[in-house]
Chain A
Amino acid sequence: MYKNKKGQPIESIEQNPSQESSRPSRGISRRSFLSVSMLTGCAALGVPLQAGALSEFKGWPKSYGMLTDFTACVGCRSCEEACNKANGMPAPDKPFTDDSVFRESRWPSAAALTVVNRFENPKDKTKPTYRKVQCNHCLEPACASACPIHAYTKTPEGAVIYNEDLCFGCRYCVIACPFNIPGYSYESALEPKIIKCTLCHVRVSKGQIPACADACPAGAITYGKREDLLKIARKRIEDNPDKYIEHIYGEREVGGTSWLYISGVPFEQLGFPSNLPKKPLLELTEGYLSAVPVIFTTFPAIFGLVYSAMKHHTKKAGKEEEHGHLKEDDNE
């Protein structure tokens, strides 16, 4: 499972080595890279490039993802530390070995792309459950469909990445994200930007695996093809029905996410939203968006007709009419 895909999007990265290496931590790519990457990705992954394929896009079929097993997590925060280093983030106030952070409820932000929180385990009070959160890399991301400048891209490899060079900072992606994930560097006056997990897009492109999965000593984070991860998750649940609840979070939520979770504690008790639709959120706005052209084509006709009818009516009523304009009689 820890094996990497061979050959495909890596070559496209190398076309832009200077740009990528100048910002190795951020995983933000230029459009040129993205388009090349999409094409090579399509070719290598065998995605049919037919016109019809886009209208019924159901996610990149052979994309990679992550599986977090909360029953295995021991709360060592190695993943947080590895993430911090891999992304070149500033050191936190408290060291990663300091357990006192578990007393507060933390959330990913512009300062940390992933955090681990401690929850009480109702099954066994002595053995708390630890929850790691970060961007879930939705198969059809709401953030990407909400962005008015198309600064987000769902890569064929699985990551949802963001290009700060396009962003004007409206933060509608933050509103749209069902998991409240994108952080924004509000403290920056000149270069504020969205900061979130990139599924270590740059590391993956170099043939490495995401830093958190690499660092986890407990085997709680598995990197691999999403469809394989689903099989692993199902098998674990099947083999240990007492240990796990029967729910793979992320399999269907908002149309599926690249990051999957299995747990011994119900997900809503771990702060995962349980009220999300099973279909991608962008489908909820499709109907409206398709109505806009209808308004543009029918309204001129409707209101033009109303205007003509009114003019005709006014004319018939014997009122003044001049050069196609309604004219008032100046009675005061």
Chain B
Amino acid sequence: MSPSEYSRSLITPFNLIAASILATSLPIFIARYGKGLASVLDATNEYPWGLLLSWGIFAGEPLFAAGFVVAAGYYLFGMKTYRPLVRLAVLGGMLGYAFAASYLLIDLGRPWRIYYPMLINFGPSSVLFIVAWHVALYVTVQLMEFSPAILEWLGSKRLHKWAVSVTVALIIGGVILSTVHQSALGAMYLITPGKLHPLWYSAHLPLLFFSSAVYAAMAFAIILSFVAVRYFRERCDNEFISNIPAVTLSLGKGAAVAMYIYFALKVIALAQDDRWGLLLTPFGYWYLVELLGFIAVPMALFSIAVKTENLTLVRFASLWAVFGIVLNRVNVNLIAFNWNMPEHFERIIPSSGEVIMILAMVTLHILVFRWILNRFPVTKELPEYKGSH
């Protein structure tokens, strides 16, 4: 393709929408770094974190656990059918974590000090310290997990062999880092018993966050594989395409089981703290919407879909489950946090700048994902590296 043909091929409806979102966001990002956070966020003493972090970190990271769940399934638990999906899931995880860190770079007051908890001074009594270290290490591990794809692209056979040889150690490391940091995201709210609504506050927050990340990861992997075969079909090899039904059903089954466990844990947490009475309050109704509408319903859908081998329903259930996980994290971070503050609901509405920045980040995320999938051997195996992982 000549350069002019290439540039003409870029003019698609999707690209035009993406370009207009990014163009709109540019002045907002300039204001954020040029004039400070106050110019784009409505943050206060009571509400220091807004939708930007809820969406970008707390809701995103359970989905990006896809990398570790699929890789652990294939490499450690012998789920052979996951093989063609491993790289795609690792890419989804790696890219997701990189973007989560980017959201942090927007929200941190002094982002150029992001390495401070690693090098300058340590706060080991802080759960956020645990999160910071584990995310940093895990991004590195995921990059190494994905490095065979990059090395194949570069054609560096010797390094490739070395990179593949450490895979299992990396996968186990990734499982540890993910377990700790997914649970740590929940543990961050253990210190806020006076602020987080008692229906969402629980001593089991770390376990709840971790176990929900497992099914969120599976649901996200199902969606990723669907996107790959639907929109990037020419980039997928036969093995990938022919394995999709089996992988989707297997992950769907896993998600159903993980959701049963999560649902049970939620109910146990409720019973253990004896919060039944609170269910009949406005926040209680909202809690039931989450528990029944966004956990029990997708859980049932997964079960039915797997039983009837209905791939479309598995994918639909996945999407619903992902909505549920986003809702849960937004509940913990925003809606049920500082719930007893006067004018609470008016004050958690995000500013327009915050929404535009989120849209821009999502757009960028999709563009980078597309760029990588179109170039690197993710959903196909290069013949000379066949069967090396």
* Chain A residues packing against B (C-beta within 8 Å): 31, 105, 107-109, 142, 144-151, 166-172, 174-176, 178, 180-184, 186-193, 273, 275-277, 281-282, 284-285, 287-289, 291-292, 295-296, 299-300, 303-304, 306-307, 310, 313-314, 324-328, 330, 332
Please tell me which one of the listed residues A149, A296, A326, A327 contacts residue B123 in the complex, with CB atoms under 8 A apart. A149
- Whether A284 lies near B191 (C-beta < 8 A) is yes
Contact between B48 and A184 (Cβ–Cβ < 8 Å)?
A: yes
What B residues does A172 contact at CB under 8 A? Answer: 126, 128, 188
Q: How far is the CA of A189 from the CA of B167 in the complex (A)?
A: 43
Closest to B104 in A: A170
A107 adjacent to B45 (CB under 8 Å): yes
Q: List 26 A-B contacts (CB under 8 A).
A: A31-B121, A105-B342, A107-B45, A146-B127, A149-B123, A168-B109, A169-B113, A174-B45, A178-B194, A181-B45, A182-B45, A183-B45, A186-B38, A189-B33, A273-B194, A276-B193, A276-B194, A285-B127, A289-B124, A289-B127, A292-B184, A295-B180, A300-B176, A306-B76, A310-B76, A325-B168
Which A residues are in CB contact (< 8 Å) with B195? 175, 178
Contacts of B120 in A (CB 8 A): 149, 166
Q: How far is the CA of A144 from the CA of B129 in the complex (A)?
A: 12
B245 contacts the other chain (CB 8 A): no
State how many residues of chain B have any CB contact under 8 Å with chain A: 72
> In whole angstroms, how far apart are the Cα atoms of A325 and B165 in the complex?
8
Known pairs A149-B129, A325-B167 / 5 extra A-B pairs, C-beta < 8 Å = A147-B123, A170-B107, A187-B39, A299-B176, A310-B78
Min CB distance B357 to A, Å, is 15
Shortest C-beta distance, A157 to chain B (Å), equals: 21
Which residues from chain A contact B128 at a C-beta distance below 8 Å? 146-148, 170, 172
Q: A288-B183, A296-B176 are in contact. Are A330 and B127 (CB under 8 A)?
A: no
Partner of B121, one of A151, A190, A307, A327: A151
- B49 within 8 Å of A (CB atoms): yes
Q: How far is the CB of B337 from chain A (nearest CB, A)?
A: 8
Report whether A330 and B109 are in contact in the complex, using a CB–CB cutoff of 8 Å.
no
B58-86 CB mask vs A (1 if < 8 Å, else 0) is: 00000000000000100111101001000
Contact A167 B76 (CB under 8 A): no
Q: Which residues from chain B contact A150 at a C-beta distance below 8 Å? A: 121-123, 126
- The verdict on A145 contacting B125 (CB below 8 Å), with A168-B109, A192-B36 known, is yes
Contact residue among A109, A186, A291, A332 (Cβ-Cβ distance under 8 Å from B41): A186
From A167, A295, A303, B110 is in contact (CB under 8 Å) with A167
Within 8 A of A (CB), among B33-54: 33-39, 41, 43-46, 48-49
A114 to chain B, nearest CB (A): 13
* Chain B 232-270 residues near chain A, CB threshold 8 A: 238-239, 242
Instruction: Give the Cβ gap from B116 to chain A, nearest Cβ, in Å.
Output: 5
Counting residue pairs across A and B whose Cβ atoms lie within 8 Å, the total is 199
Flag whether B299 is at the interface (Cβ < 8 A). no
Most buried by A among B38, B46, B167, B238: B38
Q: How far is the CA of A275 from the CA of B122 in the complex (A)?
A: 31
Q: How many angstroms from the CA of A317 to the CA of B192 in the assembled complex?
A: 52
Expressed in whole angstroms, the minimum distance between the Cβ of B241 and any Cβ of chain A is 10
Q: Which of A168, A175, A186 contacts B36 (CB 8 A)?
A: A186
Inter-chain contacts of B125 with A (CB < 8 A):
144-145, 282, 285, 289
Once the chains are docked, how many angstroms separate the CA of A113 from the CA of B277?
39
Establish whether residues A303 and B121, one from each chain, have CB atoms under 8 Å apart when the complex forms. Answer: no
- The answer to whether A168 and B48 touch across the interface, beta carbons within 8 angstroms, is no
Q: Lowest 7 A-B CB distances belong to which pairs?
A: A169-B109, A168-B113, A171-B48, A186-B38, A174-B48, A148-B129, A192-B109
Q: How far, in whole Å, are A310 and B74 apart by their CA atoms in the complex?
A: 11
| Cβ contact within 8 Å between A192 and B37 | yes
> Is the CB–CB distance between B192 and A176 below 8 Å?
yes
| Interfacial chain B residues near A166, Cβ < 8 Å | 116, 120-121
Please name all residues of chain B whose beta carbon is closer than 8 Å to the beta carbon of A148 when the two chains form the complex.
117, 123, 126, 128-129, 131-132
Contacts of A304 in B (CB 8 A): 172
Please, which residues of chain A bring their CB within 8 A of the CB of B107?
170
Would you call B126 and A330 a contact (CB within 8 A)?
A: no
Output the residue of A148, A192, A325 with the most chain B CB within 10 A.
A148
A149, B116: Cβ atoms closer than 8 Å: yes
B296 within 8 A of A: no
Contact partner, A149, options B122, B194, B238, B239, Cβ 8 Å: B122
Supposing A169-B109, A176-B191, A299-B175 touch, asked if A332 and B242 sit within 8 A by C-beta, the answer is: yes
B206 at the interface (CB under 8 A from A): yes
Closest B-chain residue to A275, C-beta based?
Answer: B194
A289 touches B193 (CB 8 A): no
Say whether A275 contacts B113, CB under 8 Å: no
A-contact bits for B361-389, CB 8 A (1 contact / 0 none): 00000000000000000000000001101
A107–B45 alpha-carbon span in the complex (Å): 9
Contact check, B77 vs A310: say whether CB atoms are below 8 A apart. Answer: yes
User: Which residues of A lie under 8 Å from residue B386 when comparing CB positions?
Assistant: 330
Q: Is the CB of A142 within 8 A of B191?
A: yes
**Chain A: CB-nearest residue to B42:** A186
Contact of B116 among A144, A168, A171 (CB under 8 A): A168
Set of chain A residues within 8 Å of B191, measured between Cβ atoms: 142, 145-146, 175-176, 281-282, 284-285
